[in-house]
Amino acid sequence: MKGFFTGFDLGGTKMYCLLVREDGRIVERLRAKTQAGGSATRLVDGMVASIDELLARASLDRSQLSAVGIGAPGAVDFENGIVLNMPNLGLTDLPLKKLLQQRLKLPVLVENDVNAGTWAEFAGGAAKGCRHVVGIFPGTGIGGGLILDGRLYRGAGGGAGEIGHTIVQLDGRECACGQHDQVLGEYGCLEALASRTAIAKDLVVLAATGRAPSVLEDAGTDYTKVKSGVIARAVKSGNADVIRLVARAARFLGVGMANCVNIFNPELIVIGGGLVEKLGETYLREAEKSMRAHALSGLVRKVKVVQSVFGDDAVALGASLLAAESKA
Amino acid sequence: MKGFFTGFDLGGTKMYCLLVREDGRIVERLRAKTQAGGSATRLVDGMVASIDELLARASLDRSQLSAVGIGAPGAVDFENGIVLNMPNLGLTDLPLKKLLQQRLKLPVLVENDVNAGTWAEFAGGAAKGCRHVVGIFPGTGIGGGLILDGRLYRGAGGGAGEIGHTIVQLDGRECACGQHDQVLGEYGCLEALASRTAIAKDLVVLAATGRAPSVLEDAGTDYTKVKSGVIARAVKSGNADVIRLVARAARFLGVGMANCVNIFNPELIVIGGGLVEKLGETYLREAEKSMRAHALSGLVRKVKVVQSVFGDDAVALGASLLAAESKA
């Protein structure tokens, strides 16, 4: 019997994979390191090994697998299944769909990770029953996913939803995208103000100056080591400076959410990703309060703000559901 | 024979009406004052009189009219045909569709004005043949219209596309919407930085201090009298201060356009409305340059920026086309 799917949340340093039944139930979960070192073959080897491991755990074999879905970070050429940029892996224009299809002889779908995560929430999670949904996933960056009129909206080239790279403060901070300072010397991406990375850059200054002992203990003064759990521990310790920095990032996030309200007139905004997973309700409500202060009252009145139901599973689950749907 | 439509561009001080043939050709044009003084009946009387005048000019009568489309400013409850707010007319929650249908016994469609204008450009103008289009019309405010996957996107409650009220500079200027300063004392709407009103507020300071003689001559120091033609004349006079202010507004507009590129991944952005009509190519290219500097290069590369083909006709024509389509 066929009827199983695998879904990947493919990150630059690790991958998270699920084995999913036709009815959407998760059967097995697996975490593995993403290893490539500039070689697409090595990356695909690792993904295939993860699939085989998942199948073995469930006493299944490849003949029972129907399709594979992959959620990948950043820009994806959806039509052709190409991941445009994975700087951590030393790979650009990676034809992941073609490579995996050749190896597995199965349908493969490649989607932007937050598109996939938002789809999961829409299909059976926090946004079930809605037709107009914006998904925002703050983490290393801030990704966005758009469900418009009940359909995943990808734009002309599959690149829609880059909410993290909208400008909310022209004289804000430099962003990793590097796109916003070439002519006018201006920055101001939402992501540079509200992502985990933005918080981390400020926290290490506190750590270095003796004002955030738990951060110093957990991560030293290297901002790339300040994961969401490190931030959460510093917040829980009651450090007022840390709490203030996190609240500021949440308020900036709320501005980005407000812009989405005014542009899309959605029913619901679902916040996912690592930051909200670890910081929870207080963080979410601070962002919501800011959203309500910054959006048109006629549009924001009916908007609900909720946390992802699927948490760490969202992206990989959504990718597998999209693969199942496109196969059908 | 039936087969004619009327379309309205309903403004707070004047209305512009078209008589349109089934094939989309404009037969007659009419400008009239919008008069209401708080009375919906008086407003509807004026609109019916305009329709009768258009028909009379073309030697037609009401029996040959198939439907009426209205483009109205600001938020519109599309489902119920209600214009939520017309402050200049002293009217709120105006059930325009119901009132006009009762009087004319004809199908009536009420749509946001820039939605209608963008639809006209999509149906047969500057955006013909595209499937993913953002329309931005800077004038008194800045309205937006969205064509996503070949369909007009209205959001959950018909209020989508309020691009003018997205925040691009949190510590920017106070906006007429009054929504953005209630909690945090912050403003920063695109419209408060890039609309005709934004330019006008700066120009009257120049006028009052002897630095913009043509503005003083045309409009005095009352910013509400600084229309697009006044700005255009001051630019043509070669006044360097005026040119700089207009260029700054165009660059802010470009930031809003960049945000739309990163969110929607569109094929084309069409700029309409009074400001671009009067300021033309130089203004448009300044905005485009700023857009290209502020958007993700992978997404902006293929985006075209064009001026509205239908100009002053766009909103009324789009409204009549939408009415024709929804009737069919």
Contacts of A298 in chain B (CB under 8 A): 75, 84, 159
Q: What's the mean pLDDT in A197-219?
A: 94
Residue A64 pLDDT > 90: yes
Q: pLDDT averaged over chain A?
A: 92
Q: What's the mean pLDDT in A41-53?
A: 96
Residue B178 pLDDT > 70: no
In whole angstroms, what is the distance from residue A7 CA to residue A167 CA? 32
Dihedral of CA B43/B45/B46/B52: which sign? Answer: positive
CB pairs under 8 A between A and B: 164
Q: Which residues contact A163 (CB under 8 A, 6 or more apart)?
A: A134, A136, A142, A143, A144, A190, A256, A260, B262, B263
Least confident of A30-34, A169-173, B33-37: A169-173
B79-111 burial, b at 16+ Cβ within 10 Å, e below that, comes to eebbbbbbeebebeebbbbebbeeebebbbbbb
How confident is the model at residue A178, as a pLDDT? 63
What interface predicted TM-score (ipTM) does this complex get? 0.87
Q: Which residues contact A243 (CB under 8 A, 6 or more apart)?
A: A235
Cβ of A155 and B171 within 8 Å? no
Residue B186 pLDDT > 70: no
Question: Helix and strand tally (H, E) in chain A?
Answer: 11, 13
A278-315 burial, b at 16+ Cβ within 10 Å, e below that, comes to bbeeebbebbbbbbbbbbbebbbeebebbbbbbebbbb
How confident is the model at residue A183, as a pLDDT? 45
pLDDT-based confidence at A47, cuts 50/70/90? very high
How confident is the model at residue A90, as a pLDDT? 81
Contact B168, B184 (CB under 8 A): no
CA distance B41 to chain A (A): 25
Cβ of B170 and A167 within 8 Å? no
pLDDT-based confidence at B185, cuts 50/70/90? very low
Contact A134, A269 (CB under 8 A): yes
For A314, phi and psi rounded to 5 degrees? -55, -55
Contacts of A297 in chain B (CB under 8 A): 179
Q: pLDDT averaged over chain B?
A: 92
pLDDT-based confidence at A157, cuts 50/70/90? confident
- Nearest-CB residue to B262 (from A84, A166, A258): A166
Least confident of A49-53, B176-180, B203-207, B289-293: B176-180
Q: What's the mean pLDDT in A114-130?
A: 98
For B263, phi and psi rounded to 5 degrees? -85, -45
Least confident of A225-229, A324-328, B110-114, B140-144: A324-328
Q: What's the mean pLDDT in A182-190?
A: 63
pLDDT-based confidence at A111, cuts 50/70/90? very high
Kindly state the percentage of chain B with pLDDT values over 70: 95
How confident is the model at residue A256, as a pLDDT? 95
Contacts of A179 in chain B (CB under 8 A): 294-297
Q: Tokens for A55?
A: 């199948």
In whole angstroms, what is the distance from residue B321 CA to residue B119 CA? 8
pLDDT digits (tens, 9 = 90+) for B239-295: 999 999 999 999 999 999 999 999 999 999 999 999 999 999 999 999 999 999 999
For A122, phi and psi rounded to 5 degrees? -70, -40
Cβ of B169 and A166 within 8 Å? no
Give Cα separations from B31 to A28, A203, B4, B116, B227 (angstroms): 68, 61, 19, 18, 17
Q: Given the DSSP bridges, would you call strands B91-94 and B142-148 parallel, antiparallel or unpaired?
A: unpaired
In whole angstroms, what is the distance from residue B288 CA to residue B278 CA? 17
Contacts of B163 in chain A (CB under 8 A): 262-263
Q: What's the mean pLDDT in A36-46?
A: 91
Residue A169 pLDDT > 90: no
How confident is the model at residue A278, as a pLDDT? 97
Residue A184 pLDDT > 50: no
Q: Which residues pair with B254 in a beta bridge?
A: none
Residue B27 pLDDT > 70: yes
pLDDT-based confidence at B86, cuts 50/70/90? confident
Interface test with A, best of B175, B265, B289, B292 (most A CBs within 10 A): B265
Cβ of B155 and A170 within 8 Å? no
Cβ of B263 and A144 within 8 Å? yes
Kindly state the percentage of chain B with pLDDT values over 90: 80
Q: Which residues contact B78 (CB under 8 A, 6 or more apart)?
A: B110, B111, B112, B154, B158
Q: In what helix (H) or strand (E) does residue A4 lie, and over which residues does it extend?
A: strand A4-10
In whole angstroms, what is the distance from residue A184 CA to residue A201 CA? 24
Q: Tokens for A277?
A: 């997973």
**In 3D, which of B182, B44, B263 has the Cα closest to residue A146?**
B263
Q: What's the mean pLDDT in B52-69?
A: 97
In whole angstroms, what is the distance from residue B6 CA to residue B2 CA? 12
Residue B1 pLDDT > 60: no
For B169, phi and psi rounded to 5 degrees? -150, 95
Cβ of A289 and B183 within 8 Å? yes
Q: What's the mean pLDDT in A130-156?
A: 96
How confident is the model at residue A222, as a pLDDT? 94
End-to-end CA distance of chain A: give it in Å, rounded: 16
How confident is the model at residue A167, as a pLDDT? 87
Give Cα separations from B290 to A11, A39, B129, B172 (angstroms): 32, 38, 26, 18
- Tell me the Ramachandran region of residue A21: left when phi exceeds 0, alpha when psi lies from -120 to 50, beta otherwise: beta
Cβ of A167 and B163 within 8 Å? no
Contact A138, A273 (CB under 8 A): yes
How confident is the model at residue A317, as a pLDDT? 98
Residue A164 pLDDT > 50: yes
Dihedral of CA B294/B295/B296/B300: which sign? Answer: negative
Q: In what helix (H) or strand (E) does residue A270 lie, and over which residues does it extend?
A: strand A268-271
CA distance A44 to chain B (A): 25
Contacts of A251 in chain B (CB under 8 A): 184
How confident is the model at residue B200, as a pLDDT? 95
Q: In what helix (H) or strand (E) does residue A14 lie, and over which residues does it extend?
A: strand A14-21
Q: Which residues contact A165 (CB under 8 A, 6 or more apart)?
A: A175, A177, A179, A180, A189, A190, A191, B262, B295, B296
Q: Tokens for A300?
A: 């924001």
Please state the three-class secondary structure of chain B as a single string: CCCEEEEEEECCCEEEEEEEECCCCEEEEEEEECCCCCCHHHHHHHHHHHHHHHHHHCCCCHHHEEEEEEEECCCEECCCCEEEEEHHHCEEEECHHHHHHHHHCCCEEEEEHHHHHHHHHHHHCCCCCCCCEEEEEECCCEEEEEEECCEECCCCCCCCCCHHHCECECCCCCCCCCCCCCCCCCCCECHHHHCHHHHHHHHHHHHHCCCCHHHHHHHCCCHHHCCHHHHHHHHHCCCHHHHHHHHHHHHHHHHHHHHHHHHHCCCEEEECCHHHHHHHHHHHHHHHHHHHHHCCHHHHCCCEEEECCCHHHHHHHHHHHHHHHHHC
In whole angstroms, what is the distance from residue A62 CA to residue A4 CA? 9
**In 3D, which of B245, B296, B301, B237 has the Cα closest to residue B275?**
B245
Residue A91 pLDDT > 90: no
